[in-house]
Each structure stands twice: as C-alpha cells, then as structure tokens.
Amino acid sequence: MPVFEPTAGTHEFDAVPGLREAWSRFIADAFESNLYGAKDSAHSLLLRWGYSDVDLRFYNPASMPIVAGSKPANVFWPALPTSYDGDFGGKKKKLYEYLDAPQKENGVRSRVQDEYCEWVVERDASGKAVRILFTCEPPEFYDFLYRDPYGVGKAKTRALLLSLYRDRCGTPDVALKELEAGKGSKRAYDPYNSWNAKHCVHMQQGANTLFAEINIVAIAGLLRRKGQKVLTDAQALIDCGRYGEPKRQSDPKIGATINQLARENRFFTLENPVGLYMTGLNTAGWSVAGHPELDPQSLWKVRKGTPDADPARSMIVRAELVSPPGLTLSDVLIGGVPIRYGAQVAEQIQMRVGVLVSEPQAQLPPPHAIGCRDANPPVPPPAAPAPGRGNR
C-alpha cells in the first residue's frame, strides 16, 4: 500500500502497474536520506554535535505514524522571483525581460525562475503574448519515469514518459532520444531538453526540485544557536543552516516557519502528496479591453492538479493563461496595464507548500539547538538520552 501519492494526487501513474508504489518508495527514500543519510542529513548533523534523533521533529510518515491530532498548515509565497531585483535597480521591464527568457547559468541555458514555479511565453508573429504556460511539476517526476529506479519496467515507464511529453507539447513528434543527453553509460534524462524548454513541461531551474523541498524541511527543522542564543530570524537561520537559496522568497520563509514549529516542540511532516503547488491566479482588478463581459479568471486553465477556492487546499502543478477568443494577451489588462510578459502574470500567482503539524509535545523536552559550523562542537553530548519518542 503506497504511503505517498504522486504529486498533486494525479492518476497518470495508474497506467503502469507498480508505479504508484515505486513513487511512494522514491519519496520515502528521499525523506530517509534527508533525515538519516550518512552525509549532511539532519541526523548526521545532530550526531556531529553530540545529539541524537530524539531532537528530530520532522519525520517520515512511511516510518512513523502521523502524530495524533496533527493539522494542516501552509507556507505561501509569490511565484515571481525577487532574486534578481537588485540587478535591475527596480526597473521592472528589464527584470521581466530577463526572467521571461532562458539564461545561461553554470554553462547551461535554462529558465532562471527560482520560486518553484516556471513559465514560458508563446508569442504571435507580431511578438504579442498569446499563451503563457506555467509549471511547478518537479523534474524528479519525469526523471523517475526515465530511470525507473525501482525496476517497474523501463519500457513501460519510458513509454509513459513519452506519452506525457506528447500530451504536454500537443504533438506526437516527441522522440525519446530528444529527451536524453550524454552518451553510452552516461546517457540520462535531460531536464533541459528542447521540448521542455519550449513547452514548460516541468521545472528545470537547478534548485527547483522536490528533493530541495524535503531537504529544506529536514535541515530547517533543527534548532540553531549562535553562542547561547537560539536563532529565530529567517535570514540568520538560512545563513546558519545553509539550506535552500537565501536570495529566494520561498526558502527562507519555509525554513523559518519549519524551524518555528520545531522550537515550539511540534512534530511535523510534509503534506501528502508531497509537492509545491500553485494555489491560483489572482485576477482581481483584471479586465479584457473592450469586453467587460469577459471574466479574466476564465482565461486561467488548470491542466494538471486540483484547484480549490481555499488556497490552502489547492494543488495546481500545471496551468496556462490563454488569450480571449479572437484576441491576444495584450488585450488582457492587469490594473489597466496590458500583459506583455509572463512575469507580470507570475506576480499574480501564489505558491504554497503544505505540512502536517502536531500540537506542542509538552511531555518532551524541547529539542537541542546545534551551532552553525560543525567543527569542534563546543557543547558536550547530554549525559543520558532525553526521555520521549525517537521518530524512527
């Protein structure tokens, strides 16, 4: 019986027997490696400071039952990145142009949209935007189908991969070899393949991954201190814990929220299905020029996942903004301003990650805080293990 649902709870994996179970195992393994892996896992950090997994508050629901009374909670952030704001002196148009276009970073041309939501703008011959595709599907989902790490049957999983690509790209022309890079034994799935680049099949920015999400929650769930002062500030925590990307909006906020839960001595795990989700598009104040009867919200088409009026429950991983009939997106006005860039629309999209949070565990001592650098830990290990439940 699988514990973890496929991202967004979709049924695409049902086409291949055993695939849902394999995905669940894949996610459970990601939890385990971030919690208990030999290197840089939450547990390994605690050990280096002389503590044990008794101080972990993040847990793997595949290894430990959901703590009774746990309730869902969310972290929200905007889909429009701010990491590059400083480079453009607040000049939005330059920033939007930069964000809309793939950029060469670390030798690879890739989208640089780094808030776990990426987009591609389709334009007509005159350069007007006609459709904007948004995705927050993790690359792991597709790489998993290509690699078939749990031996479900490569032929079937790759056939499904191809079928999903053809569906996303709206053409039967996609070939498997076009999704690969490298030669011989190094041949692998290429997240930067031209079909993904053009049709925004899944996220490709280097840090926009499901693994990153799990890692942030695992590492940020450790209490930190500088001297004797327990850290609470979002910036200080991410600088100290070195999880995620400090320049982003999402990672420091997710980290700070998670760390606060641990400071409050709560157990927490990620919402199932594990994913990073768009909650919807805020079209308040939007209009279609010359067509007051048109509701701009009708132009927002969810292609994968489940929208919900309650943003805390929405699980959208793929959506597009389409042109009104017979018009282009430049006829759609956001507060009177025509849409020219995908970034303008991304600014109106809210993202979320969900967690399940227990009540504070009054019967347990609060977790120990570790320092920021792991050489020569100044605090000796406790004389005896603290009472209470480990989470393994």
78 contacts another protein (rule: CB under 8 A): yes
Site string for another protein, 186-225 (x = CB under 8 A): ----------------------------------------
DSSP state of 58: B
Closest distance between another protein and the C-beta of residue 259, in Å? 10
Q: Is 91 in the site for another protein (CB under 8 A)?
A: yes
Indicate which single residue of 74, 163, 306, 361 sits in contact with another protein (rule: CB under 8 A).
74
Cβ-contact 116, 352 below 8 angstroms:
no
SS3 125: coil
* Cβ–Cβ < 8 Å for 269, 3: no
Q: Report the nearest approach of another protein to the CB of residue 171 (Å).
A: 36
Residue with Cβ nearer another protein (11 or 71): 71
The residue within the footprint of another protein, chosen from 9, 15, 66, 87 (CB under 8 A), is 87
73 forms part of the interface with another protein (CB under 8 A)? yes
Q: Determine, following the binding rule CB under 8 A, whether residue 359 of this chain makes contact with another protein.
A: no
Nearer CB in complex with another protein: 139/252: 252
- Residues in 335-354 that interact with another protein by CB under 8 A: 335-337, 350
* CA 312 remoteness from chain centre: 15
Secondary structure in 3-state letters for 326-373? CCCHHHEEECCEECCCHHHHHCCEEEEEEEEECCCCCCCCCCCEECCC
Place of tokens 């709206």: 170
Kindly state whether residue 52 participates in binding another protein, applying the rule CB under 8 A: no
Region near another protein per CB under 8 A, out of 82-90, 133-141, 213-221, 379-387: 82-90
Q: Which two tokens mark 57? A: 């508050």
| CB 280, min distance to another protein, A | 11
Cα distances (Å, whole numbers) of residue 257 to 115, 209, 235? 17, 19, 12
Site mask for another protein (CB under 8 A), range 255-274, x = bound? -x---x--------------
Residue 105 binds another protein (CB under 8 A): no
Residue 226 makes contact with another protein by CB under 8 A: no
b vs e for 213-234, b when ≥16 Cβ sit within 10 Å of the residue's Cβ?
Answer: bbbbbbbbbbbbeeeeeebeeb
Give the number of other Cβ atoms within 10 Å of residue 377's Cβ. 14
Which residue stretches of the chain are H helix? Answer: 19-36, 42-48, 92-100, 139-147, 154-169, 194-199, 210-220, 234-241, 250-263, 342-346
Based on the shown chain and the rule CB under 8 A, indicate whether residue 238 belongs to the binding site for another protein. Answer: yes
Q: What residues make contact with another protein under the rule CB under 8 A? A: 73-78, 82, 85-94, 232-235, 238, 246-249, 252-253, 256, 260, 282, 284-286, 311-312, 334-337, 350
